Amino acid sequence: MSAENYTLRNVNIERPSWINQNRIVDNAGCLQILELPFHFNRIYYMHGVPDGAERGFHAHKSLHQIFLMPKGSLSLELVTPTSSQVFELESGSPRALHVPPGYWRVLSKFSRDAIGLVLASEHYDKDDYIRSFDEYVNWYNEVMRHES
């Protein structure tokens, strides 16, 4: 399923979307360019993830993120109480994924060489995290009650 086909039932939450990277190749190599839909305050990257390990298992209340793979691949599942969608991220693909706030995420299937780069709209704030799925469902329903 593509991001464009993705519909959330009864909700106005912003959808995840692919951002195409511009790629300029010449004799001196490749330049990959990404124009961002928000100003970012933080960069972090994941690497050295052991075979079979999974990360994430949280949602953010207000953070916007861009995920891209300078190297290797991983699977990113974005879940709401009414939906689930899996995005395959890989370095060969000239696109990045914008993950808006409000999605429970699970990262899996890291290739051994994976470097998962994340551009984040805000500095680290532990209070922006929801780390219990039950709490996430309650938060989501409360937010959606006010949005609908």
Q: Looking at beta carbons only, is 126 or 145 nearer to ligand TYD?
A: 126
7, 124, 138, 142: which one contacts ligand TYD (CB under 6 A)? Answer: 124
- The answer to whether 46 contacts ligand TYD (rule: CB under 6 A) is yes
- With binding defined as CB under 6 A, does residue 132 bind ligand TYD? no
In terms of CB distance, is 124 or 142 closer to ligand TYD? 124
Which residue lies nearer to ligand TYD by CB, 11 or 74?
Answer: 74
Closest approach, Cβ 115 to ligand TYD, in A, equals: 13
Tell me the two tokens of residue 17: 């979307």
Distance CA 96, CA 37 (A): 12
Which two three-digit tokens encode residue 48?
A: 């050295």
Quick one: which segment of 7-15, 38-46, 67-75, 92-100 binds ligand TYD (CB under 6 A)? Answer: 38-46
Closest CA to 46 of 100, 109, 98, 129: 109
Site for ligand TYD in 50-69 (CB under 6 A): 55-56, 58
Q: Which 3 state secondary structure label does DSSP give 128?
A: helix
Closest alpha carbon to 41 in 131, 124, 132, 107: 124
The pattern of x and - marking residues 103 through 122 that bind ligand TYD according to CB under 6 A reads: --------------------
CA angle 76, 81, 82 (to 5 degrees): 90
Type and span of the H or E element at 138: helix 133-147
